[in-house]
Amino acid sequence: MKFEFKGVEYYIDGFLATALDSLVHNIKKDWDVVVLITGDRTVRTGKSVLGMTVCAYLGAALKKLELNENAYTINDVYFNSSVMVEEAINKPKYSVNHYDEARESLAAIKTQKKIQQDIIDFFNECGQLNQFFVLVLPDFFTLKEDIAVARSEFLLNVYRTEEKKMVDLYKDGVKRPVVEFKRGRFEFFNREKKGKLYDKARMTKRKSYSLVKADFIGRFTNQYTLDKEKYLELKRNSLKRFKETHKKEDVKLLTETRKFLEIASFLTPKQLREMSLKLDRDEDYFRKSVERTKREADPILNEENKLKARKIGEIEGFP
């Protein structure tokens, strides 16, 4: 079906529109609404584009009901959860917040967990803001249960399809078999089914969206409901700032890791065992910690050593 947003017509799946209408109906009754959009554990599936369509539909609906004339703009797109949390507190009721985890998904697991906890704390402390939060995320199964199950209304999992074709790939008159990747499909899981999906994934230790049958399969088109160039520029700048910030953090972390390994190298197995027992831990606790740290640091340290060797070679005239 079609809907109008800022004077332009866009397409949205009819079943998805019906689900969103229910959320719009309930937002007036002192609720906050969280919608999850994931990418089937794959990149470049089009989840950000679907996120924009969902937000634009909600914005158009809120305007139609005269609840908020300008509920969704480029200023409501966030690539930094801290900024979203800070600004959402000061927004009027019936606003739409579009969070895209494109940059923060590059962070270490520890950082990602902190980001999620910050969002959970925000919802717990701020009460009812009567706002929409559309969270575009890489993977449903890495979420904390509070967000994945309790806080969110439904899950849209975007996935790619594949089509076998015969094409004249090299323009030499010879058709070759290829597999063409296509975007534009998503699975819809309501509150009950996404809860079952999360629980089954934990029980079976399988991170697969096929563990539970989706309520329906929907379609979306490659449409930007916001200015495409402004959106992409915002995304690029956000990624650039993120990489610069985390490069400094990585250097600091690596320095601390080196210090830890250096200290550990002076300790005998007996001393490590005694330290573990003094802390009421398993006797192999510190030994295993040292081994794990070495494994995690090796790829980075080896890469640094290669870089140093290459630079020395260049200085001394070796290729």
99: domain CATH number? Answer: 3.40.50
Tokens 């924009």, located at residue:
52
222 or 313: which carries more pLDDT confidence?
222
Mean pLDDT of the region 11-34: 95
| One domain for residues 115 and 212 | yes
Residue 256 lies in a domain: yes
- Asked whether the beta carbons of 202 and 28 are under 8 A apart, the reply is no
| One domain for residues 217 and 71 | yes
Q: Does residue 294 register a pLDDT over 80?
A: no
Q: What is the pLDDT of residue 252?
A: 54
pLDDT tier at 122, thresholds 50, 70, 90: confident
Residue 277 lies in a domain: yes
| One domain for residues 215 and 284 | no
| One domain for residues 172 and 200 | yes
Sequence-separated contacts (24+) of 62-69 with Cβ below 8 Å = 62/24, 62/27, 62/94, 62/96, 65/24, 65/28, 67/27, 67/28, 67/93, 67/94, 68/92, 68/93, 68/94, 68/95
| One domain for residues 164 and 269 | no
Strands (E), the chain: 2-5, 8-11, 33-38, 77-78, 96-100, 132-137, 152-167, 176-189, 216-219
Q: What is the pLDDT of residue 279?
A: 81
pLDDT tier at 293, thresholds 50, 70, 90: confident
Q: What is the pLDDT of residue 257?
A: 73
| One domain for residues 80 and 185 | yes
Q: How many domains does the chain have?
A: 2
Q: Which domain holds residue 266?
A: 246-316
Q: Give the whole-number percent of the chain exceeding pLDDT 90.
A: 59
| One domain for residues 161 and 302 | no
Nearest-angstrom CA–CA distance, 191 and 171:
50
Residue 34 lies in a domain: yes
| Whether pTM exceeds 0.85 | no
Residue 72 lies in a domain: yes
| One domain for residues 274 and 146 | no
| One domain for residues 96 and 207 | yes
